[in-house]
Amino acid sequence: MRRALPSLQRLRALEAVVRLGGFSAAADEMLLTQSAVSNQIRRLEDEIGVPLIERLGKRVKPTAEGEILLAAAGDIFAALERALLAIADTRGEVTGRFVMGGGGTASTYHLPPLLARFADAHPKAEVNLHTGHATELVHGLIDGAIDLIVTSGIPADARLVREFFAEDRLVCIMPPGEETALTEIAPRDLDGRRLVLFEKGFPLRDPVDEWLAAAGGAGAPAPNILDVGLAEAQKSFVMAGFGWSIVPDIAVAREAARGWMKALPLAPPLSRPLQMAWRRDRAMNPAIRAMRRILRGGE
């Protein structure tokens, strides 16, 4: 007599519980109650005939039998994903869900018009946007929580494919109405001034610090620097008259055009590249491929 195979839903529950380390987190991800997830695991263990997970305090881990089943389930899920992608390709439809990751500047300024274009062109697809620091986004990309990222400071990693996305030119901004005969800003022009810069640890801060140190005015007082974590906060401080700042030009294009602040180029020029990246070994559904084409300017 042929043995009944476990359902995909129960295998999904097992994978989620083990990956997330508990029933509550798995229930949140699967949009189920915790008792429903527990019931799925219990019925799966009854079908297989052995315990598949063991509880260690508040966390769970797979048993040896659970590890074997999870490995097989991973192959099954991957094969099903490839089949669904192939079916979608034959129908010419752009469908599927994915998670996009963006750095602060990318998520605020670069991605909104591109995601709007994507949504208009592909109404059957679904995308969620996660904003974070480069380190967090890369970690999410590697562990599978994020499918595609756009940010600066993506390290070289054999598991990732990286492509150029855009170049952010940095400018110096100053309060509206502030008089200056300068047409560009050199490091020595900022000696003794109050500056509002990205916090230490942000990918943008190191090149700004290096630019300031490279040609600062000898003997003059160093800039008085206030660290903040958001470009929007930097702009607010500048418009309030607190001091000057150095930000990507895309972040202040609208305000500068309306006269809310003055933006001058840096001398020597300073810019930072943004990249997009994805996992080399991960299958891409039609929605991710379509988004990647838009990021490349091809759609």
Backbone φ, ψ for residue 100 (5° rounding): -100, 135
Q: Which pLDDT band, with edges at 50, 70 and 90, does 110 fall under?
A: very high
pLDDT at 265 over 70: yes
* Phi (first) and psi of residue 89, to 5 degrees: -65, -40
CATH code, 168-271? 3.40.190.10
pLDDT at 221 over 70: no
Predicted confidence at residue 90, as pLDDT, reads 60
Q: What is the largest CA-CA distance in the chain?
A: 90
Please give the Cα distance from 248 to 116 (Å, whole number). Answer: 22
Residue 191 sits at φ, ψ, to 5 deg, of: -60, 130
In the chain, where the domains are located: 8-89, 94-166+274-295, 168-271
DSSP 147: S
Of the candidates 33, 63, 26, the residue with the CA atom closest to the CA atom of residue 45: 63
Amino acid at 77: F
CATH topology of 8-89 equal to that of 94-166+274-295? no
Q: Which fold has domain 94-166+274-295?
A: D-Maltodextrin-Binding Protein; domain 2 (3.40.190)
pLDDT at 88 over 70: no
pLDDT tens digits, 144-191: 889 999 999 899 998 999 999 999 999 999 988 787 888 999 998 888
Torsion angle defined by CA atoms of residues 76, 79, 85 and 86, in that order, rounded to the nearest 10 degrees: -140
Quick check: 2 pLDDT over 60?
Answer: no
pLDDT at 133 > cutoff 90: no
Q: How far, in Å, CA of 68 to CA of 73, rounded?
A: 9
What percentage of the chain carries pLDDT values higher than 70? Answer: 91
Indicate the fold that domain 8-89 takes in CATH.
Answer: Arc Repressor Mutant, subunit A (1.10.10)
- Range of lowest pLDDT (72-76, 180-184, 233-237, 286-290): 72-76
